[in-house]
């Protein structure tokens, strides 16, 4: 049991981060806190992906020309998840940008960022 937890400690950390982000998204009342929870959620998924690509004893994925053609895949960290996560980071940045703009519009209209107060104002 301890081996199960200790050997996969990186996955446990990411699960913890995802749950923290998820809690923030769902349970918090302030819209800004929801946004921060969403950010934590997205970045922790990105961290998860990057940890997939790592290998014990692997080095930076740049081919040393002196080794060519005796290249072993075991020597290098997998660069594909890194590249995929560059795209995901850009997606996260764009999400944050749009969300902040929407928050400005909401604040200008309702004067508050608390969700229950906005719902009260909508009911009227």
**Interaction site with another protein (CB under 8 A):** 22, 25, 31, 34-35, 38, 41-42, 45, 48-49, 52, 62, 81, 84, 86-91, 94-95, 97-106, 108-110, 118, 122
Is 37:99 a contact under the CB 8 Å cutoff? no
Q: Where are the alpha helices (DSSP H) in 1-124?
A: 2-7, 9-27, 31-52, 80-110, 115-123
Nearer to another protein, 26 or 70 (CB): 26
In the complex, the smallest distance separating the C-beta of residue 31 from another protein, rounded to whole angstroms, is: 6
Is 92:45 a contact under the CB 8 Å cutoff? no
In the complex, the smallest distance separating the C-beta of residue 57 from another protein, rounded to whole angstroms, is: 19
Is 63:71 a contact under the CB 8 Å cutoff? yes
In the complex, the smallest distance separating the C-beta of residue 45 from another protein, rounded to whole angstroms, is: 5
């Amino acid at each position: 049991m301890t081996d199960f937890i200790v050997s996969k400690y990186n996955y446990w950390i990411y699960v913890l981060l995802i749950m923290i982000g998820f809690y923030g998204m769902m349970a918090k009342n302030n819209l800004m806190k929801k946004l921060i929870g969403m950010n934590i959620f997205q970045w922790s998924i990105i961290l998860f992906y990057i940890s997939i690509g790592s290998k014990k004893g692997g080095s930076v994925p740049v081919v040393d020309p002196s080794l060519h053609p005796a290249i072993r895949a075991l020597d290098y960290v997998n660069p594909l998840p890194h590249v995929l996560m560059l795209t995901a980071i850009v997606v996260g940045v764009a999400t944050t940008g749009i969300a902040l703009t929407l928050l400005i519009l909401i604040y200008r209209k309702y004067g508050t960022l608390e969700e229950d107060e906005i719902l009260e104002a909508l009911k009227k």
